Amino acid sequence: MVNEAKETAKTYVELGDFVRAIDCYRKAISNLPNKRDELLSLYLFCVSAYNKLRDYDNVIAHCNVVLCLKPDCVEALKYRVIALSKRGYEEAASKDKNLLMELERTSKDITKKKKKKEKFQKSLDEAISANEYGDRFFNLSNYAVAIEYYTKAINYCGNKDNYFSAMFHDNRAAAYEKLNDLINFHKDCNAALKNDKTYTKTYRRRAKVFWKIGERKKAIKDFITVCVLEEYENKESIDAMEGAIVATCQKNADELFVKLRCLPNNTNHVNRKYFREFNRHPLYHNFPQYQIRNSMESEPLTISHLLYFYDTVFFDYRLYDDDPQYGRPKSNFLILQATLNILTENYSRAENQLEEIIEMYEKNPDYSTVHWDIVTHAFICLANIKGRRLMRDGFGIDFALKCYDRALLIDANNEDVYYHRGKLYAERGQVNNARNDFEKSTKLSIFFMEAKCKYLRLTFDLALNANDEDAKNAVLAEFEEISNKFKDS
């Protein structure tokens, strides 16, 4: 019945009776409710007939139906552009023209790619065959001949942006590596990754070669790229990455401390020059095996321990995430980095890390991202480093005092704040202020010997200036008591 209606309609079209032709097409359409391709053809016949009758409203309506069934139907778009223009809908017609141009351009691109693919497919089989021969000779350790066959595979395939080109270049790179021809090795690695930036085999191969020749940073970058591409699901790749990073950090740290004539196990350098002046350093709780609760118990802590802790936390993915919920592990890591930079006198980097901690706290002052102990310590260290730098440059002590004040707003009973502010006052000749701060520090913690000793020293100086023998003897007696109590100090 459908075919009969179509044939009848065709006859009417030839006779120029487009009205009856349309009726026949409609009859055929009513009997084809679920056959999309034939429906499209019949609707387009209707569109053509209505166009002959110059019934542009029906042309538009039937074109809309066709485009609902097939949005990229060029023929329907052409008819609708004409009909819209005839009806005066220029803006809609312009949109259809732009869409039509885009579809035609896309169609040309698809046709071009299809021809290109067909041409490539012809040589691909030959390329794969040559590559298989190359693999055979490679396994026989005949690398020179293997390179010849891999070269043939590359030539057959061409330097296209595809998996096979990357594979052939990578295979030839492996052969060059065996011959210690690193120049051609790197050329082929670069060519492989140019063709396929996700080809993990090449990144892994190049990382191992970089590591062998001492290019540690480049090796680590490639190891990390492999892990990212594999979405951290390959344990072997993760182990290789972590091993490279740990070894590099340890090497760099050792070189750094050797340059500063500071052996990694020099306990005096760590304790007496730094940790003895902090009774509540945030890092103490990271070494539970030593049960460090104050500066007097920090004796076992060495630079080697800090470096080991650094290597341990370095691989915590949360350190590199901007999510506020990961703020605490990040702030712990930053205070460790700042501490190491202070110990190695790299003060500019330490300043940046301390300011980053303070900025994290200021964005979330509810201590959700930074523990109050850490931000307090950051203010103290920033006062000691940046504050003293500004003083040397002639800007006075205002910045340092402001940092100490902000630290006390966070923790009014922190003995470390009073101690370091007291040291600043003492350096500036404000003896009474210094003595008051040292006294406050010692009252907050009886184990803070640095604060106690400095308090007694200032008290002794005041007694000496006042020629007060009783006061001097009382201070000396306290010193004697402390030295007997802490003989190993």
Domain extents for the chain? 1-88, 123-261, 275-485
Residue ranges of alpha helices (H) inside 411-468 are 415-427, 431-444, 449-465
Amino acid at 159: N
Share of the chain above pLDDT 90, in %: 27
Among candidate residues 389, 397, 398, 327, the one with its CA nearest the CA of residue 359: 327
Torsion sign across C-alpha atoms 73, 74, 79, 85:
positive
| Rounded average pLDDT over 120-133 | 82
Q: In terms of pLDDT, which residue wins out, 267 or 272?
A: 272
Out of 10-19, 156-165, 396-405, give the one with best mean pLDDT. 396-405
Q: Do 209 and 185 form a contact (C-beta atoms < 8 A)?
A: yes
**Among the listed ranges 165-174, 228-237, 280-289, which one has the minimum average pLDDT value?**
280-289
CATH class of the domain comprising 1-88: mainly alpha
Residue 371 DSSP code:
-
Q: Using alpha carbons, select from 124, 134, 211, 127 the residue that is nearest to residue 173.
A: 134
Most confident of 54-68, 240-254, 407-421, 454-468: 407-421
Q: What is the chain's alpha carbon radius of gyration, rounded to the nearest angstrom? A: 40
Between 168 and 328, name the one with better pLDDT: 168
Of 227, 229, 188, nearest in space to 209 by CA: 188
User: Distance of CA 212 to CAs 175, 180, 220, 379, Å?
Assistant: 17, 12, 12, 44
Structure-token pair, residue 182? 């690193």
Residue 290 reports pLDDT greater than 90: no
Calculate what percentage of the chain has a pLDDT beyond 70. 81
Please give the distance of CA 281 from its chain centroid, rounded to a whole number: 30
Angle at 243 between CA 237 and CA 247, to 5 degrees: 150
Domains 123-261 and 275-485 share a fold: yes
The DSSP call for residue 364 is: S
Is the model's pLDDT at 319 over the cut of 70?
no
| Token duo for residue 20 | 């009856």
Name the least confident of 260-274, 318-332, 461-475: 260-274
Tell me how far CA of residue 355 lies from CA of 63, 87, 341, 377, 385, in angstroms: 65, 68, 14, 11, 11
Asked whether the predicted pLDDT for residue 264 surpasses 50, the reply is: no
Query: Given a cut of 80, is residue 48 above it in pLDDT?
Result: yes
Q: How far apart are CA 125 and CA 157, in angstroms?
A: 9
pLDDT in tens, 243-252: 888 877 766 6
CATH topology of domain 275-485: 1.25.40
Residue position matching structure tokens 């079209």 = 13
pLDDT at 317: 40
Distance from C-alpha of 142 to C-alpha of 160, rounded to nearest angstrom = 27
Whether domain 123-261 has CATH 2.60.40.420: the reply is no
- 104: which 2 tokens? 């035609």
In the predicted model, is pLDDT for residue 480 greater than 90?
Answer: no
Q: In whole angstroms, how far apart are CA 154 and each of 114, 118, 162, 170, 192?
A: 21, 17, 12, 10, 11
Torsion (CA) 397, 398, 401, 406 in degrees, nearest 10: -150
